[in-house]
């Protein structure tokens, strides 16, 4: 159970920069640009070789990623809104385009290019994703204030 404020701190993606990464076909990161490293709070070497879901935020519905994988495995480009978790527990929103990289006529990896999202769109998509998680996964995001002597009991409920 998180008891720090860090998870509520949003990092804004700069308007004039793109976040870029590449993965192999299993989702392991093979390349990140400096903007990705900076925004996510990781060093590039901490990300290379890790599964891309190392930055998956728990607010993201599983169905969004199921759709992403189904789309790119067909060879199509997936576009959508993603809330990612930073290394420090904070978060950032992006609009992502994920596509297959073709070299010499052969698919070699996936590439994702991400850009900032407006405040209004973040609110709209957060509400949609909360609804999807509740319907599809039976999970709801909450903030809970409990007496210190009841903290253990609240942590047990999380299981």
Neighbours of 117 (CB within 10 A): 20
Stretch 93-107: mean pLDDT = 96
pLDDT for 138 equals 92
Stretch 47-67: mean pLDDT = 95
Q: Would you say residue 49 has pLDDT above 90?
A: yes
Q: Would you say residue 1 has pLDDT above 60?
A: no
pLDDT confidence bin for 63, thresholds 50/70/90 = very high
pTM of the model: 0.88
Cβ neighbours for 1, distance < 8 A, ≥ 6 positions apart: 151, 154, 155, 158
pLDDT confidence bin for 21, thresholds 50/70/90 = very high
Average per-residue pLDDT in the chain?
Answer: 93
- Beta strands 29-32 and 78-85 are unpaired
């Amino acid at each position: 159970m998180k008891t720090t404020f860090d998870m509520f701190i949003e990092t804004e993606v700069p308007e004039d920069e793109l976040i870029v990464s590449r993965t192999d076909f299993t989702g392991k990161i093979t390349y990140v640009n400096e903007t990705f490293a900076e925004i996510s709070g990781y060093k590039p070497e901490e990300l290379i070789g890790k599964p891309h879901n190392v930055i998956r935020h728990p607010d993201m519905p599983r169905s969004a990623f199921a759709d992403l994988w189904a789309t790119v495995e067909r060879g199509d480009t997936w576009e959508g809104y993603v809330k990612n978790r930073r290394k420090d527990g904070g978060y950032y929103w992006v609009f992502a385009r994920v596509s297959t990289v073709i070299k010499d006529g052969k698919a070699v990896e996936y590439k994702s290019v991400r850009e900032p999202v407006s405040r209004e769109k973040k609110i709209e998509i957060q509400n949609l994703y909360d609804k999807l998680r509740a319907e599809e996964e039976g999970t709801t995001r909450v903030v809970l204030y409990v007496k210190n002597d009841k903290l253990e009991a609240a942590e047990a409920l999380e299981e």
